[in-house]
């Protein structure tokens, strides 16, 4: 069984969720080829061998420096053919998921996104996927010989299983139609911990009163090497950028630790955080519904507790 893994990068570095995808593919027991598109540091690519890739392809055509959904899908389809891979695995993301859809449609593959654990192959090929925004799971059988799997964060635990490999350049034959959409510019926070990838998230709600009070949350986040998030009203009021909005209609996070400050815990917010391993809630209202979904809670004023918490963490280091 040959498996192709599409690995995504940000600022030249392979994303952690993509490394999880390589580990996942290796754990399935196939021959794993990883492929990266656009500019990525070569040491990063070589290191994929450590996580289970037998072979690493790099399509470094500068036209692929931008994540164009159609062009990426075309490259992955031809790489699957060249590598005689029946299975494509990638991490769900704003690029990965739409690309997976187009690849599956092109090659007639069975498709499942938001897969949370290794497939069960005792009879057929059955994957467990997260549905109803984390409120349930479905076990679905993928019947076609060709399969495309989009993984939810934490579908595999990163561990080293091998040694670095050398990188094989992969040349592409892209056509104009692949570039029918043109990316004219982008705005991106650099050097920050990305919210969907973060191990720890510090999130603030309307209880923070205004954007001017975010400094203390950023300070806490910095101390924990965490990403910052927020509730929907906070991004609706432009206190924080939209890509920080967590919940049913925003980013779904799955960190080790989610710290919610001044967020009431509306069911739509919880839908975006219910895959977190541990939830801490800080709210001045003991009746706030978030406490029911929390592992640890503190009832009190965020403006007093947050600086104390930041100090306590610094002191414990």
Partner 1 sequence: MKILVCISHVPDTTSKINFTDNNTKFDSNGVQFIIGPYDDYALARAIEIKEASGATVTVLNVGPADTEPTIRKALAIGADDAIRVNAEPTDSFFVAAQIAEQAKAGGYDLILMGRESIDYNSGVVHGIVGEMLGMPSISPVMKLEIEGNTAKLAREIEGGKEFLEVNLPFVAGCQEPIAEWKIPNMRGIMSARTKPLKVVEPSAVDSGVKLQKFELPAPKGSVKMISPDNVGELVTLLKNEAKVL
Ligand X SMILES: Cc1cc2nc3c(=O)[nH]c(=O)nc-3n(C[C@H](O)[C@H](O)[C@H](O)COP(=O)(O)OP(=O)(O)OC[C@H]3O[C@@H](n4cnc5c(N)ncnc54)[C@H](O)[C@@H]3O)c2cc1C
- Name the residues that contact ligand X, by CB under 6 A: 205-207, 231-234, 246-250, 262-264, 266, 268-269, 272, 283-285, 288, 301-303
Phi, psi of 238 (to 5 degrees): 65, 25
Out of 1, 161, 237, 267, name the contact with partner 1 by CB under 8 A. 267
Closest CB 135 distance from ligand X, rounded Å:
14
CB closer to partner 1, 4 vs 293 = 293
Q: What is the DSSP secondary structure assignment for residue 150, as one 8-state letter?
A: E
Q: Tell the smallest beta-carbon distance from residue 285 to ligand X (Å).
A: 3
C-beta of 147 vs 269, nearer to ligand X: 269
As beta bridge partners, residue 35 has: 6, 57
d(CA 250, CA 263): 15
- Per CB under 8 A, the list member of 194, 213, 233, 289 interacting with partner 1 is 194
CB atoms within 10 A of CB 61: 18
Segment 26 to 65, residues that bind partner 1, using CB under 8 A: none
- Residue 288's binding partner, choosing from ligand X, partner 1, none, with beta-carbon cut-off 5 to 8 A by kind? ligand X
Q: Is 166 in the site for partner 1 (CB under 8 A)?
A: no
Q: Which two tokens stand for residue 37?
A: 């598109």
Between 50 and 240, CB nearer to partner 1: 240
Our CB check for ligand X shows the closer of 71 and 246 to be: 246
| Residue 39 binding: pick among partner 1, ligand X, none (C-beta 5-8 Å cut-off by kind) | none
Q: Which range of residues in 54-62, 81-89, 102-110, 155-163 is near partner 1 by CB under 8 A?
A: 102-110
Stretch that binds partner 1, among 31-39, 131-139, 153-161, 209-217 (CB under 8 A): 131-139
Closest Cα to residue 200, out of 179, 180, 223? 223
Q: Which of 5, 197, 205, 260 binds partner 1 (CB under 8 A)?
A: 197
Write the CA distances from 144 to 87, 100, 122, 137, integer angstroms: 10, 15, 16, 21
Torsion of CA 258, 262, 265, 271, to 10 degrees: -40
Does the protein bind partner 1 through residue 176 (CB under 8 A)?
no
Asked if 67 contacts 38 with a C-beta cutoff of 8 angstroms, the reply is yes
Cα distances from 173 to residues 8, 77, 270, in angstroms, run 20, 12, 45
Choose among ligand X, partner 1, none what residue 162 binds, the Cβ cut-off being 5 to 8 Å by kind: none
Distance of closest approach, residue 39 Cβ to partner 1, in angstroms: 16
Q: Which is nearer to partner 1, 31 or 298 (CB)?
A: 298
Residue 105 contacts partner 1 per CB under 8 A: yes
Q: For residue 216, what are the contacts with CB-CB under 8 A and spacing of at least 6? A: 303, 306, 307, 310
Nearest-CA neighbor of 10 among 86, 51, 66? 66
Beta carbon of residue 51, minimum distance to partner 1 (angstroms, whole number): 21
Specify whether the CB–CB gap between 302 and 284 falls below 8 A: yes
Which uninterrupted H or E stretch holds 132?
Answer: none
């Amino acid at each position: 069984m040959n498996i192709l893994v599409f690995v995504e990068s940000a600022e030249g570095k392979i994303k952690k969720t993509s490394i999880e995808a390589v580990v996942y593919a290796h754990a399935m027991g196939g021959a794993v080829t990883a492929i990266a598109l656009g500019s990525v540091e070569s040491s990063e690519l070589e290191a994929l061998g450590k996580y289970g890739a037998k072979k690493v392809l790099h399509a470094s055509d500068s036209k692929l420096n931008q994540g164009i959904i159609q062009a990426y899908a075309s490259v992955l389809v031809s790489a699957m053919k060249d590598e005689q891979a029946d299975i494509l695995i990638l991490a769900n993301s704003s690029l990965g998921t739409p690309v997976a859809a187009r690849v599956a449609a092109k090659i007639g593959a069975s498709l499942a996104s938001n897969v949370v654990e290794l497939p069960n192959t005792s009879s057929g090929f059955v994957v467990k996927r997260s549905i109803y925004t984390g409120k349930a799971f479905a076990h679905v059988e993928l019947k076609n010989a060709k399969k495309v799997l989009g993984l939810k964060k934490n579908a595999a635990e990163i561990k080293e299983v091998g040694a670095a490999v050398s990188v094989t350049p992969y040349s592409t034959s892209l056509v104009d139609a692949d570039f029918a959409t043109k990316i004219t510019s982008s705005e991106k926070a650099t050097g920050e911990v990305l919210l969907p990838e973060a191990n720890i998230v510090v999130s603030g709600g309307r209880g923070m009163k205004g954007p001017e009070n975010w400094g203390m949350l950023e300070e806490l986040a910095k101390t924990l090497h965490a990403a910052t998030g927020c509730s929907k009203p906070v991004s609706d009021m432009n206190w924080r950028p939209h890509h920080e909005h967590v919940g049913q209609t925003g980013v779904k996070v799955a960190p080790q630790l989610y710290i919610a400050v001044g967020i009431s815990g509306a069911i739509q917010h919880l839908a975006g955080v219910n895959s977190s391993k541990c939830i801490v809630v800080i709210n001045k209202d003991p009746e706030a519904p978030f406490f029911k979904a929390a592992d640890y809670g503190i009832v009190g004023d965020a403006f007093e507790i947050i600086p104390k918490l930041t100090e306590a963490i610094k002191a414990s280091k």
